[in-house]
A and B are shown apart, each in its own frame.
Chain A
Amino acid sequence: MDYSQFLAMKQEIGLLVVFLLVFLYDTFMPRSTQKGLPAFASIAMLLLTVAGCLGCCLCSCSDVVAFGGMYETSPVISAIKNILNIGVVIVLIQSIKWANGEFMTMRRGEFYELLLVTLFGMYLMISARHFLVFVIGLESASLPLAAMVAFDKNRYESHEAAVKYILTAVFSSAIFMMGLSFVYALAGSLYFENIYGALFVSSTSTMLVIAIAFVIAGIGFKLSLVPFHLWTADVYQGAPTSVTSYLSVISKGATAFAFLVVMAQVFGSLYAQVWEWMLYALIILTITVGNLFAIRQRNMKRFLAFSSISQAGYIMLGVIAYNTLGMAAMMFYILVYIFSNLGAFGVIGAIENASGKVSMDDYRGLYKTNPRLAFTMMLAMFSLAGIPPFAGFFSKFFIFTGALQGASVAIYVLVLIALINTIVSLYYYLLVVKAMFISDDECVIAPFRSSCSERLGMWIALFGIMFLGLLSPVYDSLIDLSSLSSIGMYFIR
């Protein structure tokens, strides 16, 4: 075996090093220094991210296929991994206070180790060019998350959420693998390339349609597309806030990109015949149902759960666009979504840590007592709703532009439905703003000073919300990367 192939996996190896460092710190450092673990993990992850971003910018690495075609890396894949890394750094920084709490004393290390393992799984999902690797990635990205969801072991909801999560994860994996077995039966291989070749020449059969439906359903569970979304709200509510934020941005972003890769590289030839319409229906359902249910939520975490369901629908517009513009817009959307959602979760986490309150009613009059938190939350809400000049506006605009490139009237209708839904979403995002700024009732949350790490996390998120859209090089470089990537070759309608 040619061991130089491992050089293609630079990012995975880097992540593994971070994992081992955290593990060694957790195991061998004396008890008195254990409080430094969260900061240590954040810094290690930050270094990895910086190194990854620099590596991405400096060396003009080309597409590499390694391990007999099972693994691929390319500039665009490194870019999405770096985007995920950025999100993980923010999540880690925001969770420092929580992880240093009294209750976490003995289990601090586990949280970080499990988190890094799931990230590793997501890396594999994105880079996989063989369904075996993909499934390994999918599983290692889901199963440890169940343990993380159950982290608040004294809270009943946390257990319930974990059970729901693990059952759904297993169930969706089963459906996914059922679909895979059909695909294997039709194509006789699990290599993406071979399946694409086999499906390209074969005619469409019922079995193929079922296989694709199963694959979409399996990944749809992870992405919480409607009607596979039923676990989302309960799990988001029950899980500790740090885990919820991780679930809602990183896990979703990684799966969305992996979904695009699978649909393009495996089923690309069947876009128009088979899966465009499946996705079309799923997007309409996801955006609409997610929005309508979000309106009624009073718990902030449940609220953001439904909001993230509808955001997943918008991300899927980048897949149905099926062109390089759409792909770049999708990556940009994921990046912006990471910053906006983490801004919101940062505030929720800070308030929960300080006062234990997570209900929207408790946010009334927040501007009077904690103006900075309220301001951060407002900008995050505006960005999620797509209000300029914040980043969310640009990401929404670009994803619609991507979807409409050379589009049929049907896609115009889809985008119109999505646009009308942004108004619904604006309504419930404004409800939060209204509670914080406009409600005259007495303030529920007393003034408090959030910890340094929480403030740092929010500052980073705010920075992204304010400037990611205005700074055009970010989007431009994503476009460049996507138009050069090998995935782009599959975009034939």
Chain B
Amino acid sequence: MFTNILIYFVVIPLVMLGLLALCRDVKQIRAVAVVGSLGLIGLSVYVLLEYLGIRAAGNEDPMLFVDSWSWFAPLNIHLAVGVDGISIAMLLLSSIIVFAGSFASWTIAQPKEFFLWLILLSTGVFGFFISIDLFTMFMFYEVALIPMYLLIGVWGSGNKNYSAMKLTLMLMGGSAFLMLGLIGIYYHSAPEGAPLTWNLLEIVDNAAISHGWQSFLFPMTFVGFGVLGAMFPFHTWSPDGHASAPTAVSMLHAGVLMKLGGYGCFRVAIYTMPQAAHELSWIFLILTGISVVYGAFCACVKTDLKYINAYSSVSHCGLVLFAILMLNETAMTGAIMQMLSHGLMTALFFALIGMIYGRTHTREITQMGGMMQILPYLSVCYVIAGMASLGLPGLSGFVAEMTIFVGSFKAGMADYLAGDGSLRLVFTIIACCSIVITAVYILRVVGKLLFGPVYDNHHRSLTDATWWERLSTATLIVCVACIGCFPNFFNNLINFTFKPAIFSVLGIN
């Protein structure tokens, strides 16, 4: 079992949990968190290089490092692992954000419990991304959700009781639909007489889910994951939750957990049920189109920094689902790029907001101003994050959004020319507007908060970033710039794995 490299993505956090339980003072806790998350980054880089090496050698399997150990034999439940380019990208993203998050919560109260829950959460995240067995995938998914309740409830701020409960219940509500969908997939996973399976690859190979069941199970799974991806009527947990959560939790939640939703929608809902995805995508296209624009408009009118960023997350994550539903290669590649890009820049945003809030004790932009004079380092970082968010070329946002809109437009035009209606085209155009609205709310905050006169003279005595804060933000900025400058590398990493899924969708047209 331990000969498979992927299993260490779960083993390392579990070892960290054990060590944290033994820690006696804050220094040991920090050491465990930093060493552990460095280990995770190292591991994901190692897996990335290995993966590229194997691919370069001409291996064309849909997943690599595949392994499977029987767990509950009567139900054919396995602990099955395997990764492709998308999962590796997600693993890399998660480990970077866990690393940055550990530094962002350097001086948190009750550090032991905080890090225990935080690492438990990341165990779930890593487990989810390496699993290819629906049962273990779902289990890790829920493991990642529940620590949020205590993390927000105990360490949060503002209306934390309400937000923590709302977030937990809504996400768990999503997973209720998901559980039904997954069990349904299991019972239709194999042709008559063949053994049923939870293994994603086998389910896709069998392609045995009948058309009728697909149109029942697809909405279940898509909505289930879509709740976590902040799809329109189910997005309301996100602003409250993010606003109340402590810094590192907001980073991890917006940066990684919301990606679980998009990843699940793609990997489970669309991958296994392409026919239904093709037929029903218009419903979800409308919903995600609404979240893209609606989220952006909400961000324009909010004055609390965290709310602004949370709504901007709704908008950007909506774009992820929107692009996935276009069902074409370019748009889907863009969706994965957007997940990476949004994960990094939103984590950066939340880290900066947390650092500013820790100094000024307010997040109202009406109560602050002229931060560029007082906190130059943090302000510059904020501008960089803002530029990434509104899609400045050279940073990650541009690459992602460009790819998404080109892909969507292609899909829309194809539909239109084939006489299939112009819904995709119309919604692509509507979603494109969000770029402008994003610029509005980003520039509004940058102008008011960073430039302009100093609002409160007490703020003049504030000190700029400490070394751990600099380390946390610098890591994220480097990554954002990397994606922006070397998009082709990520494009190739992700691209390969789309081909089978796309062909299966197009094959039935």
Contact = CB atoms under 8 A, between A and B. Distances in A.
Interface of A: 325, 328, 382, 387-389, 393, 397-398, 400-401, 404-407, 409, 412, 415-416, 419-420, 422-423, 426-427, 430, 433-434, 437-438, 472, 475-476, 479-480
A475 B77 CA distance: 12
B176 A476 contact: no
B161 interface: yes
B381 interface: no
Nearest to A389: B143
B184 A419 contact: no
B172 A426 contact: yes
Contacts of B46: none
Contacts of B153: 434, 437-438
Given A393-B139, A423-B169, A415 B180 contact: yes
Interface of B: 71-75, 77, 135, 139-140, 142-143, 146, 149-150, 153-154, 160-161, 164-165, 168-169, 172-173, 176-177, 179-180, 183-184, 186-187, 216
10 contacts: A401-B183, A415-B183, A420-B176, A423-B169, A423-B172, A427-B169, A430-B168, A438-B153, A475-B74, A480-B74
User: Which of A406, A409, A438 is packed against the most chain B CB atoms within 10 Å?
Assistant: A438
5 closest A-B pairs by CB: A419-B176, A479-B74, A438-B153, A388-B139, A423-B173
B184 A422 contact: no
A388 B176 contact: no
A426 B168 contact: yes
Given A412-B184, A438-B154, A476 B161 contact: no
Contacts of B184: 404, 412
B180 A412 contact: yes
A400 B149 CA distance: 25
Given A415-B183, A423-B176, A434-B153, 13 more contacts: A388-B142, A389-B143, A393-B139, A406-B187, A416-B180, A419-B179, A423-B169, A423-B173, A426-B172, A434-B165, A437-B154, A475-B72, A479-B74
A185 B440 CA distance: 81
Contacts of A476: 72-74
Contacts of B160: 438
A434 to B, nearest CB: 6
A427 B73 contact: no
A377 B507 CA distance: 53
B150 A433 contact: yes
B109 to A, nearest CB: 13
A124 to B, nearest CB: 30
Contacts of A404: 180, 183-184, 187
B501 to A, nearest CB: 26
A430 B152 CA distance: 13
Q: How would you classify the secondary structure of chain A's contact residues: helix, strand, loop or mixed?
A: helix
A379 B71 CA distance: 23
A475 B135 CA distance: 15
Nearest to B217: A412
A438 B161 contact: yes
Contact of B177 (A409, A419, A475, A479): A419
B143 to A, nearest CB: 5
Contacts of B161: 434, 438
Contacts of A393: 139, 142
Contacts of A389: 139, 143
B173 A400 contact: no
Given A472-B71, A475-B72, A397 B172 contact: no
A430 B161 CA distance: 11
A472 to B, nearest CB: 5
B169 A400 contact: no
User: Which of B140, B143, B180 is packed against the most chain A CB atoms within 10 Å?
Assistant: B180
Nearest to B153: A438
A382 B146 contact: yes
B72 A472 contact: yes
Contacts of B177: 416, 419
Nearest to A396: B179
B165 A427 contact: yes
A401 B165 contact: no
Contacts of A412: 180, 184, 216
A491 B304 CA distance: 60
Contacts of A475: 72, 74
A480 B73 CA distance: 11
Contacts of B176: 416, 419-420, 422-423
Nearest to B75: A401
Nearest to B176: A419
A472 B76 CA distance: 12
A387 B75 contact: no
B42 to A, nearest CB: 26
Contacts of B139: 388-389, 393
Nearest to A419: B176
A427 B169 CA distance: 7
Nearest to A480: B74
B187 A405 contact: yes
Contacts of A328: 74
B171 to A, nearest CB: 10
